[in-house]
Amino acid sequence: MAAAPRHTKGLHIVALFEGAKGVLVLLAGFGLLALIHKDVHEIAARLIANFHFNPASRYPRIFLDLLERLDDHKLWAMAWAALLYSTMRLAEAIGLWLRKKWAEWFGVLSGGIYLPVEIYELSLGITWPKVSVFVFNLSVVLYLLFVLI
């Protein structure tokens, strides 16, 4: 049994958001594939220079150090992970758009799984991005629970 028609608009909004996440991650996966057989460290160094960041400062250094250990095998693995994640998000989006009960449950579970991590991150320090992500994710999970009940 699907959600009541009065919840269609809300489910469509959540579906569009989940679909957008799926498309964004899919595009990121294709971007990773474009880096195969390339000097990723050199590309990152040029990116940092183009944004006029100091490559010796903390975050650009962390970024460069991380990419130094990146090889083609890891890029393929990350691209496959992106494909899997985007497939799940797009399937959820289609299911929510069609008001399928399984998609509502999947949305509650897949959104709810992040809540403990987000709460932990908030315990380390409250910032507007952290609070925004937590509140939005909690709102989606609560809304889907409301639709299910």
pLDDT at position 4, please?
A: 60
CB atoms within 10 A of CB 59: 10
56-76 confidence digits (pLDDT tens): 888 888 888 888 788 889 889
Instruction: Please state the separation of Cα 133 from the chain's center in Å.
Output: 11
Separation of alpha carbons 8 and 30, rounded Å: 32
pLDDT band for 38, please (50, 70, 90 cuts).
Answer: confident
How confident is the prediction for the chain on average, in pLDDT? 90
Alpha helices in the chain (DSSP H): 8-34, 40-50, 58-68, 72-97, 101-112, 115-124, 128-148
Between residues 130 and 52, the one the model is more confident about: 130
pLDDT band for 138, please (50, 70, 90 cuts).
Answer: very high
